[in-house]
């Protein structure tokens, strides 16, 4: 039924667009009226901030990897953090907000892979898991838990 109604409406529109010499369409009576349906759709848009993919640059030691990563977080420098950590680790700390004050609670000694380092921050406790890669060390997991 809707297709037939649409066809009638389309024919009427086309007929009204012709030259002045073309016959005018007739007016429909109330018994011939065409029902129309209007559909409204809403869409939402989300914005995601994505840090460019950069090659990892492993640090010479687990403590240096942790220091580079934490300093990058303190500076708000996601790109620098991405050079020493996997994307999920970068997302985890930067989504926790600014760290405020940072106090190292140390790393496990001797450094047996994976190395775990803990920091106290204003955002909560930061736990880093650091593993060897190539000729150095990278952060492969980061977690910030509520203070």
What DSSP character marks residue 30?
A: G
Helix (H, G, I), strand (E, B) or coil at 128: strand
For the chain, domain boundaries: 2-32, 62-145
* Whole-number pLDDT of residue 110: 79
* DSSP state string for 72-96: HHHHT-HHHHHTTB-HHHHHHHHTT
Per-residue pLDDT of the chain (147 residues; tens, 9 = 90+): 444 444 444 444 344 444 444 444 444 444 444 444 444 444 444 444 445 578 999 999 999 999 999 999 999 999 999 999 999 999 999 999 999 999 999 999 877 899 999 999 999 999 999 999 989 999 999 999 986
> What fold characterizes domain 62-145?
Nuclear Transport Factor 2; Chain: A, (3.10.450)
CB-based burial of residue 130 (10 Å sphere; 0-12 exposed, 13-18 middle, 19+ buried)? buried
**Sheet of strand 124-133: strand arrangement:** 102-107, 115-121, 124-133, 136-145
* Whole-number pLDDT of residue 57: 96
What does pTM read for this prediction? 0.65
* Alpha carbon 72 to its chain's center: 20
HSE-up of residue 71 (Cα within 13 Å, Cβ side):
9
* Whole-number pLDDT of residue 48: 42
């Amino acid at each position: 039924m809707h297709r037939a109604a649409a066809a009638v409406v389309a024919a009427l529109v086309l007929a009204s667009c012709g030259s002045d010499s073309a016959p005018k369409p007739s007016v429909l009576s109330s018994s011939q009226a065409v029902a129309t349906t209007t559909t409204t759709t809403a869409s939402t848009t989300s914005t995601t901030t994505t840090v460019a993919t950069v090659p990892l640059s492993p640090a010479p030691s687990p403590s240096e990897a942790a220091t580079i990563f934490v300093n990058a977080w303190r500076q708000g420098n996601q790109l620098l953090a991405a050079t020493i950590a996997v994307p999920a680790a970068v997302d985890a700390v930067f989504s926790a907000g600014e760290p405020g004050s940072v106090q190292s609670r140390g790393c496990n000694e001797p450094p047996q892979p994976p190395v775990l380092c803990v920091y106290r921050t204003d955002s909560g406790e930061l736990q880093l898991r650091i593993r060897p890669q190539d000729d150095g060390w990278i952060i492969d997991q980061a977690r910030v838990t509520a203070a």
